[in-house]
Amino acid sequence: MLKINGKEYNYDGMTISEILELEHYEKFRVAVERNQEIIPKAQYDSVQVQDQDQLEIVSFVGGG
């Protein structure tokens, strides 16, 4: 089990890209942080999440 934005999910072994698609996030509007470190967009297809990981997905909305 891992946590995404404080909630538990059973996504162990999945890539960041797979999780973003499952959770309906738009890749080019998010920033993803795992265990206090930012994951570069170029690594979304290769980084696999593990048991106990803490993920924070920030989804940006328009306006400024």
The only residue of 6, 24, 51, 64 in contact with another protein, by rule CB under 8 A: 64
CA distance 64 to 6: 27
Under rule CB under 8 A, residue 1 binds another protein: no
* 17 CB burial (10 A radius; 0-12, 13-18, 19+): middle
Interaction of residue 58 with another protein, rule CB under 8 A: yes
**What distance in Å separates the CA atoms of residue 64 and residue 41, rounded to the nearest whole number?**
23
Nearer residue to another protein within complex by CB, 35 or 50: 35
Q: Is residue 14 near another protein by the rule CB under 8 A?
A: no
Nearer to another protein, 13 or 52 (CB): 52
